[in-house]
Structure 1
Amino acid sequence: MKKRDFLKLIAASIGAFWLLRYVRGNTQVMAKVNKEYEITKTDAEWQTILTPEQFRVLRQHGTERAGTSPLDKNYAPGTYVCAGCGSPLFTSETKFNSGTGWPSFYAPIEGKVGTSVDKSFFMKRVEVHCDRCGGHLGHVFNDGPAPTGLRYCMNGVSLKFIPQES
């Protein structure tokens, strides 16, 4: 076997290994997210109440472009709720400017979000979803401010802001 053929074989083996890991990783995320939720709908039902972008992010685990959500720079007092089911998820007291272009919080409302492992795009992240309807909200990272040290980096399109009544 020539050296060139041997290197091609090694490269193909490594590529196959990573592809298998990627496909298996995505299946694991979907299996965990597809648990029984209080609110369940078919894709057709979700499409009647969500915009195409909300459906892509909330139901198909998409990501909105950074800097496109007006909620990123919103610091008014109030509550951020799931755009799919209206469940309260975050309060304005825990919101901070992460500089990432997505609305960021250091803590959710207790018991309102769930997490699962996301192995898409050849990396391992912690996905955040609504614990009432399973909608994909974003990801959580360990580089946030005190007191939690966490950064819940959320897609603005998956949230709705309810201003605090004065």
Structure 2
Amino acid sequence: KAGAIIKRVEIPETPYIMDVMKYEFQYAMNQYLKGLPSDYPIKSLQNIIDYNNEYKEEALRYGQTLLIDAQENASGTLKDAPYQNILKDRQECMQKIREELKGTYFCIMYSFSSILQYTELPAITIPYGLKQDGTPAVLQLTALTNEELLKNAYIVERTIGMRVEPKLG
């Protein structure tokens, strides 16, 4: 319909996305909190965890396992050996994906993948209908550059995109 040529591209999954988040979250949160006014009572991720524990009813509606994991299993310096190994793997993964995408304008992924965030490739989602449970069904698109992604996402959205209002109970 749109004159597209379809090419199957294999994009690997990675188990490391949550580990990246653990190391970078603790570091970024502590850096942010250090920059707040000196009279601000929360100065670190540990302070947030302590506050949440003290005010469980209000603060722990969804738990804090990710906060605790970051606090207990990362140094907060981004110098941890496992984190450095993940960064090396990320570079190798990025190179493999860029090679795989060479010669393509963009890639449509039919299921959500965290590999794009891991490899820092630009991504966008386009709704194309509703799933059986009433939630939006989306395509995830990526490209090697933001310009290619936006140009082609616009074409895909105009060709197959469908804005469907979800039914709210």
TM-score by length of 2: 0.26
Q: Which one has the bigger helix percentage?
A: 2
Structure with max Cα Rg: 2
Structure with more relative contact order (C-alpha pairs < 8 Å, separation 6 or more): 1
Q: Which one has the bigger strand percentage?
A: 1
TM-score by length of 1: 0.26
